[in-house]
Structure 1
Amino acid sequence: MTTRAIVRGVGHYLPERIVPNAEFEKTIETSDEWIRSRSGIERRHFVAEGQTTSQIASLAAKAALADAGFAADDIDLIIVATSTPDLTFPSVATMVQAELGMTKGFAFDVQAVCAGFVFALANANALILSGQAKRALVIGAETFSRLMDWNDRSTCVLFGDGAGALVLEAGEGAGTNADRGVLATDLNSDGRHKSILYVDGGTSTGTTGHLRMEGKEVFRHAVEKLAETAHAALDKLGMTGDDVDWIVPHQANIRIIQGTAKRMNVPMERVVVTVQDHGNTSAASIPLALSVGKARGQIKEGDLVVTEAIGGGLAWGSVVLRW
């Protein structure tokens, strides 16, 4: 028998404030049509004053635990993927641990920007397979509205806030592609591309900073690398796009999503798309889309799901799992 990290529950949280594209027309030179045509985004959610990443992460975690039928002390491990922590330290994950009342196990953050959830999921899978943990909460949570330059129309209209969470549990499989759980992962990074997507703040400046992006360059890398990493993970299983029930991609831009699906020979009818409602929520986008996809009745037990994402670093990767 083979140990597998099996999805037992999923949940998400979106802040109450909904910001339609039209709201940006009041402050910068843009329009609803301009934003939709270039990104597919129609609206996004922003956190309230004083609402933190750890708070929204905890709400998503509670929803996932309820979906799984687990209590906090059933969990051994929490990994939070985020680029917008409450504080430099301690980690958001330990704050979530405290909020949940979890008194055992261990918790830490992963920072791979928009690819963060894929990296966190791969790490949780490895820790479960190694026996370090039996049950894990894997969370993506971001408050990107705190990093925006509201005078930069090329970036400030693209991002939103939110959180999503998955509960994984060690289970037994036959060691075949028919097993439920994580089946393959593929992780990559290339630090030479730092300048095309970064935040110009941190300990070197003593400021939080703002997000800076060369959109055309990011787009070019994204379409190429997302398809490559998805194929690399599927190749490990001897599978192709024809075997995939659902692609659940990072929700950054509808044109990137469409381009990646085309390269994988997967029709858009088999792609979970939430970018129109959430914008780019960075590390939160994939778990948000997984939760929404399940709630819509799209993702069902036994479905083969491919997740893939790319973010600053550049960092990119994919996970193939059977729901």
Structure 2
Amino acid sequence: MTIRAQVAGVGHYLPERIVPNAEFEKTLDTTDEWIVSRSGIERRHFAAEGQATSELAAHAAEAALADAGLQASDIDALIVATSTPDLTFPSAATMVQARLGMETGFAFDVQAVCAGFVYALANANALITSGTVRRVMVIGAETFSRILDWEDRATCVLFGDGAGALILEAAEGDGTPDDRGVLSVDLHSDGRYRELLYVDGGVSTNSIGQLRMEGKEVFRHAVAKLAATAEAAMDKAGITAADVDWIVPHQANIRIIAGTAKKLGLPMEQVIVTVQDHGNTSAASIPLALSVGKAEGKIKRGDMVVTEAIGGGLAWGAVVLRW
């Protein structure tokens, strides 16, 4: 018998304000055509004034609980992947815990920027397979609109706000790729590439900071590293690309998404793409895409899903799971 961390429910939340590309034309030397051609992004959502990351996360969590038919009291642990928490401390996860009325269990944040959800998923899987907990809520939530330089047309048009949540629960499996649940995890980081994507401020430097990115270099690293980590995760799971039903990638850039799929030998028809509607929501992008993919009737029980992401650090990784 093998303990697997199986998907019990999924949900997402997007702020009400929708920002089309045309809105940036009023203040920047850019056009809708320029943004779409380079990123695939057509619109994104921005959080309202006073709407914090934990609020977005809590709404997504409630949607996931409803999808799973569970109550907050059924959750043993809650992990929030975010680079834009409400406060320096306490963690956004404990704030979500309080909003949900979850009075037992434990909660903590994971910070790996755009790869945060993959890292959080790996932590949740380890907690379940070790027997520490039975159910874990994993949330990716961001308010990147709060750390953007609105004069930098190369970055401020790329990001959006949102949250997605996934509930994993322990179940018995046979230890084969036919099992439902997380089948493998592959994680990496390399701090030598810090300057490629970072925020130029923080608590210990006593400054707020804004996002900075070397777009061409990030693109160069992204396609190669994402394909390699996805292949490594598939190898660990004992599957090949022919076994994959869906790739659910970090939604950063349509060219990166397409380039990675091509390297893996999979058609775009098997890729869940939401970047056109959400922009890059960092740690929220994969759970958002999973939730949308299920809601649209694409991702179904028993489907083989590969998720992969890369973000500042650089940090990257992949998870293979059977839905």
Partner of 2:263: 263
Report how far residue 205 of structure 1 moved. 2.8
The residue identity in structure 2 corresponding to 1:268 is M
What are the residue-to-residue correspondences of 1:280-295 with 2, within 5 Å? 280-295=280-295
Instruction: Answer whether contact 2:246 2:305 (CA < 8 A) is retained.
Output: yes
Deviation at 1:241, TM superposition (A): 1.1
Q: 1:117, CA displacement in angstroms?
A: 0.1
Q: Secondary structure at the match of 1:35?
A: helix
Which residue in the other structure is 2:311 paired with? 311
Tell me how far apart the structure 1 counterparts of residues 208 and 11 of structure 2 sit (CA, whole Å): 29
How far does residue 237 in structure 1 lie from its aligned partner after superposition?
2.3
Counterpart of 1:177 in structure 2 is 177
Give me the whole-angstrom Cα distance separating, in 2, the residues matched to 1:208 and 1:47.
19
Return the letter of the residue paired with 2:108.
F
- The answer as to 2:87 corresponding to 1:87 is yes
Matched, 1:145 2:134: no
Aligned-residue offset at 1:242 = 1.1
Question: Aligned residue for 2:136?
Answer: 136
Where in structure 2 are the equivalents of 1:229-308 lying within 5 Å?
Answer: 229-308=229-308
Superposition map of 1:1-323 within 5 A: 1-323=1-323
State the superposition RMSD in angstroms. 0.5
* Cα distance between partner residues in 1 of 2:148 and 2:22: 17
Q: Which amino acid aligns with 2:68?
A: A
Structure 1 unaligned spans of 5+:
none
For residues 150-193 of structure 1, the C-alpha deviation after alignment (integer angstroms, 9 at most, x for no partner) is 00000000000000000010001111100000000000000000
CA distance in 2, matches of 1:120, 1:243: 25
**Per the alignment, in what secondary structure is the counterpart of residue 308 of structure 1?**
strand
**Structure 2 counterpart SS, 1:12:** strand
Letter in 2 for 1:75: I
Separation in 1, partners of 2:175, 2:104: 30
Q: TM-score, normalised by structure 2?
A: 0.99
Secondary structure of 1:84 counterpart:
coil
* Cα distance in structure 2, aligned partners of 1:238 and 1:181: 14
Q: Give the distance between the partners of 1:288 and 1:85, measured in 2 at CA.
A: 18
**Helix, strand or coil: the match of 1:163?**
strand
- Matched residues in 2 for 1:204 and 1:65: separation? 37
Q: Tell me the SS of whatever aligns to 1:220.
A: helix
Contact 2:177/2:238, CA 8 A, preserved across alignment: no
The one-character-per-residue Cα deviations of 1:221-263 (angstroms, maximum 9, x if unpaired) are: 0000000000000011232111100000000000000000000
Q: Could you tell me how far 1:45 is from its partner in structure 2?
A: 0.1
In 1, are the aligned partners of 2:21 and 2:157 still within 8 Å (CA)?
yes
Q: Which moved more, 1:234-243 or 1:210-219?
A: 234-243
| Partner deviation per Cα, 1:294-315 (whole Å, 9 max, x = no partner) | 0000000000000000000000
Mapped to 2, the partners of 1:99 and 1:238 lie a distance apart of 40
Gaps in structure 2 of 5+ consecutive residues: none
Separation in 1, partners of 2:302, 2:256: 27
> Whole-Å Cα distance in 1 between the matches of residues 208 and 179 of structure 2?
44
- On the 8 A contact 2:237/2:320 being kept in 1, the answer is no
Q: Is the Cα contact below 8 Å between 2:61 and 2:164 reproduced in 1?
A: yes
Structure 1 CA distance for aligned equivalents of residues 120 and 18 of structure 2: 28
SS at match of 1:301: coil
Matches of 2:316 and 2:176, distance apart in 1: 26
Greater alpha carbon shift after TM alignment, 233-242 vs 76-85: 233-242
What displacement does 1:207 show?
2.1
Cα distance between partner residues in 1 of 2:179 and 2:239: 14
Report deviation, 1:204. Answer: 3.4
Shift >3 Å, 4+ stretches: none
Task: Give the number of aligned pairs.
Answer: 323
Structure 1 residue 220: Cα displacement? 0.3
- Using the TM superposition, give the Cα deviation of residue 123 of structure 1 relative to its aligned residue in structure 2, in angstroms: 0.4
CA distance in 2, matches of 1:147, 1:237: 37
TM value normalised by structure 1: 0.99
Q: CA deviation at 1:129?
A: 0.6
Q: How far apart are the structure 2 equivalents of 1:237 and 1:173?
A: 14
